[in-house]
Amino acid sequence: MFYEQRMAVPDSPADLRAEYATDLVAVVGQHDVAAVADETDLDAETVDALDADSVADLTLEEAAQIQSMVEGEPDADTIVEIACEHLLLGMTTAVLDVDAVEGELPVDMDAKEIQQKIERRAPMSFGEYVHLQHTIVDSAP
């Protein structure tokens, strides 16, 4: 699950995103498209088209809403909170500040944006989350 603390990541953010897309698509498969659309902020067309590329366009909250449909998983708000806390914990482990993350991040986000997104003061796409997580975990000793 994407919100769990990672100690290792695949070679690229795209590979990590594909791994998470497989998980989210499996959740949709356990339910049906209409049920997922009813339980989330997503429309049926978006849910039905989920794949490794389109999952990046979800918000972190939308991905959490899908994940929370699995029995035994926390609610979506808790998943988002845990995911962001693990980013902060990873930064501590890797001895990174937001300026260092900005320097390593392969997407265009400045340090202030990174901090706001991790602290949940600004919206974060799932694609941004994956890039941040990959950068942070890949930098850990």
134, 16 Cβ separation under 8 angstroms: yes
The reported pLDDT for the residue numbered 141 is: 85
CA distance 28 to 124: 22
pLDDT digit string, tens, across residues 3-46: 999 999 999 999 999 999 999 999 999 999 999 999 999 999 99
Name all contacts of 18-21 with Cβ < 8 Å and 24+ positions apart.
18/52, 20/55, 20/63, 20/126, 20/130, 21/50, 21/51, 21/52, 21/55
pLDDT digit string, tens, across residues 93-104: 999 999 999 999
Q: Please give the share of the chain, as a percent, with pLDDT higher than 70.
A: 100
The reported pLDDT for the residue numbered 91 is: 96
